[in-house]
Chains A and B, each alone.
Chain A
């Protein structure tokens, strides 16, 4: 069964601190791994997309890693800001263009 699991479910950090979110996926055939940021009451916004041949990809203060062998990915946020408070969703793409398997998300709260 194709599935994506994320941890932790929620996380509270202080402004300026770093954090790492985890994602494990069981998807076959695997196409690519995506991270999205979803603000409350809004649609998801893409942060990174990685194929199986890519190990790391950065987007500003966001750095995603991918280990296709262990089927694990992480999203590292550096020097967190209050605006980083959101849900972060890990999504694995299977096969062709149409199938996206969503994780439940990690709800991050950045406190001053």
Chain B
């Protein structure tokens, strides 16, 4: 089956620094990837839709200058949390869909998630 790989699985950083999270589709080309944020005991909240070769589409209330998204290739999207603060501590998850294969195009594959702790 399709695999979406996310790295790192956890990171601890100091307040004010930036952190980059990578999301890779391993066996298909993903023109679109999605970034979610999840707080403890809550559901996934869509932050932004990452489009290969163009600007990301951010959900209302998500600061695009705070959460930089780059989708430079068909298999890689990155989320950079800039000038991180403790309130940015959360579980970040990426997702991708394989629109290239009939029968699999409705499936959403999720990465393993990244636990960010800002101290």
Contact = CB atoms under 8 A, between A and B. Distances in A.
Interface of A: 31-32, 34, 36, 41-46, 49, 89, 93, 97-98, 100, 102-105, 107
B106 A49 contact: yes
Main SS of chain B's interface residues? Answer: strand
A100 B108 contact: yes
Contact of A45 (B34, B97, B110): B110
A102 B44 contact: yes
Interface residues of B, number: 26
Interface in B19-53: 32, 34, 41-46, 49
Contact of A43 (B32, B45, B49, B111): B111
A97 B97 contact: yes
Contacts of B91: 41
Residue among A44, A49, A98 having the largest count of chain B Cβ atoms under 10 Å: A44
A65 B41 CA distance: 25
Contact of B113 (A36, A42, A49, A105): A42
B112 interface: yes
Contacts of A102: 43-45
B6 interface: yes
A107 B41 contact: yes
B105 A97 contact: yes
Contact of B93 (A31, A43, A105): A43
B99 interface: yes
A16 B43 CA distance: 28
Contacts of B112: 42-43
A43 B42 contact: no
A44 B32 contact: no
Contact of B6 (A41, A43, A103): A43
